[in-house]
Structure 1
Amino acid sequence: MLPKRQTVDLDHVPSKARKFVFVLLPEFTMLCFSAAVESLRIANRMANRQLYDWTIISEGGGEVSCSAGVAFRVDSDLVELNRDDVILICGGLDVQSATSKRLLNWMRREARRGSTVGGLCTAAYSLAIAGLLDGKRATIHWENQDSFAEEFPEVDLTKSIFVVDGNRITTAGGTASVDLMLKIIADDHGEELAGAVADQLIYNSIRTDQDTQRLSVPTRIGVRHPKLSRVIQMMEQNIEEPISPSILAQHVGMSTRQLERLFRRYLNRSPKRYYMELRLQKARNLLMQTDMSVINVALACGFASPSHFSKCYRAHYETTPYRERGAHASRAVE
């Protein structure tokens, strides 16, 4: 016989369920969406009453396929909503193409009426292009941070897993939807209910908006050497104006030769080579995610001339920056 399900007694329950409106963009990330909805569903179950309600909509009101190819049937087109509804735009791959003029106009209209508007995963781009994040703190998936920062300097971009700034919400994607929803549930109905939802999700480490997206440098590179980690962190923070290996070595109290040996031992490459790969990785992100000219991409990644940039890019990726961008544009159209 199964054990009786535990519920959480709430001191105060609103007479009306709080409503969330999920707007699915083409090729949205299923995990971000499902994690958010499941958190709300479980909150209702643990409270043994309807605390939250939700509806799913899309532009045109037809089926929308997520990035994994699964098709979702939605409830309606982009309709006028109640002011108290919480709107969450669900983004994913190629969010630029998925953000249409009609969607932008609809978002602006609902925002003018006072609605809370949020973006899950890459949908922070949709909010930013609509002007809804101007002067606001926000976040977006780490893979899109470089291009976002270049395109929207008026947004205070953070590396947090989620950000709530007034009536604007953004998340970094993935399981960050769970953390966001647990915060909302805790704010609405208390920590006990949020904890019960986390337990049901087998989620034993609830993160806050103070937690950052990416793993620490030692965890990412699989090496726990404090001086190596500090040097890599400095490299990642100084892409546009690279720091010479000798200066990097001085900052951590080493000689240039010692730094060379450290990188060779743990990463099987020189500091100069590792730094170059970081810069080229950022350049590739900018080429594929923005409309920046190749010259501006080169400058943003610390290359003094387009010819040097092109030469280094070809050596690493076996194609030129121009061909990379053209190939990406062709794949997006297909």
Structure 2
Amino acid sequence: MTPEVPPLSRVQSTADLGPSARPKRFVFVLLDNFTMLCFASAVEALRIANRMSGQTLYTWVLAGDGGEEAYCSAGVGFKLDMDLGELSRDDVMFLCGGIDVKSASTKTLLNWVRREARRGVVTGGLCTAAYTLAKAGLLDGKRATIHWENHDSFLEEFDEIELTKSVFVMDGNRYTTAGGTASIDLMLKIIADDHGEDLANAVADQLIYTTIRTDQDTQRLSTPTRIGVRHPKLSKVIQMMEANIEEPISPSNLAADIGMSTRQLERLFRRYLNRSPKRYYMELRLQKARNLLMQTDMSVINVALACGFTSPSHFSKCYRSQYNTTPYRERGAQSGRLSV
């Protein structure tokens, strides 16, 4: 699938880009129920780079198990160019993940990805496809990222990987993104490395992408910022809570750590969040529990322990109060799903 290139460059002449070289080929492997936005964002950045340079700098093909057709999570079908065949060592392979990536990471796919990675092919995972790379053992000992919704479950299953909250990570020849428009940021970085920042900036302008993020940018605002809390001591307490889910800290110790009395901390939470510190902390723990129940195969008791509950009955009672269902019913309805 080779895109059309206009005869005139919008950025610089072909001479400015140096001698004509063989275009870099990207192989997009579309997993079942992949997220269209992460895939489309990546392809559009490459297409526009060709258009703005006046050259065919990049080409791409669509691949998948069976080589016939793949469907995204929005139900749109894409005709594939190839099966899971042998790639060129100069190719860049990107797995495109989305809903239920665990089921989409079949044995056939994992074996193929491992084989191609052993041959030296640069390998990346867009959106939840970082899970596929991890399952194939390709991220062991490396830094990586994944969509924030899948962060907790990923940490529980792959403790040998340094998981970050960055929008994208490039660690050697392994690339991962957080999903959505993070594909644009990764592609702009690749374009800048290949052909200079002027071209990458021109591509961003065409995409009306006004703020280019780097691998130092995180995919979500901090919780205090997201909920509109600007009190420095309250923000610190919230961060401490988020970092201590498995072994919760008592409100009195939280208060002491920031130089407040327990009563002062209570008033601070009531004023800004309309709930007690204990209630807010419980909601954080239950949210993580829900993510683990919906996205992993962990037993209910292990989920409870991972979220600071030593009593299964107490966990069940709290969960029912928050979500109007039991952890066991939640697990039955959502078992094994990794979603975006």
Question: Could you tell me how far 1:224 is from its partner in structure 2?
Answer: 1.9
Matches within 5 A, 1:117-136: 117-136=123-142
Contact 1:13–1:51 at 8 Å: present in 2 too? Answer: no
Cα gap change, 1:83 to 1:287, in 2 (>3 Å): same
Matches within 5 A, 1:23-34: 23-34=29-40
1:6 counterpart (1, 7, 10): 10
Q: Which amino acid aligns with 1:315?
A: S
Cα gap change, 1:150 to 1:254, in 2 (>3 Å): same
Question: Could you tell me how far 1:6 is from its partner in structure 2?
Answer: 2.7
CA distance in 2, matches of 1:166, 1:58: 25
* Residue correspondences, number: 329
Q: Which amino acid aligns with 2:183?
A: S
CA distance in 2, matches of 1:245, 1:30: 44
Moved more, 247-256 or 167-176: 247-256
CA distance in 2, matches of 1:255, 1:194: 52
CA distance in 1, matches of 2:44, 2:89: 24
CA distance in 2, matches of 1:331, 1:262: 38
Aligned to 1:188: 194
Q: Which amino acid aligns with 1:219?
A: T
Higher relative contact order (CA 8 A, sep 6+): 2
Question: Could you tell me how far 1:5 is from its partner in structure 2?
Answer: 7.3
Q: Secondary structure at the match of 2:275?
A: coil
What RMSD in Å do the two structures reach over aligned CA positions?
1.6
Cα gap change, 1:278 to 1:14, in 2 (>3 Å): farther
CA distance in 2, matches of 1:257, 1:244: 13
Q: Deviations over 1:25-50 (max 9, x none)?
A: 11111110000000000100110000
Percent identity, aligned pairs only, is 75
Gaps of 5+ in 2: 1-7
1:270 counterpart (276, 282, 303): 276
**Runs of 4+ displaced beyond 6 Å:** none
Gaps of 5+ in 1: none
| TM-score, length-scaled by structure 2 | 0.93
CA distance in 1, matches of 2:113, 2:326: 38
Contact 2:293–2:335 at 8 Å: present in 1 too? Answer: no
Matches within 5 A, 1:151-166: 151-166=157-172
Matches within 5 A, 1:301-320: 301-320=307-326
Aligned to 2:254: 248
Q: Deviations over 1:276-296 (max 9, x none)?
A: 011011011111111111111
| TM-score, length-scaled by structure 1 | 0.95
Cα gap change, 1:303 to 1:162, in 2 (>3 Å): same
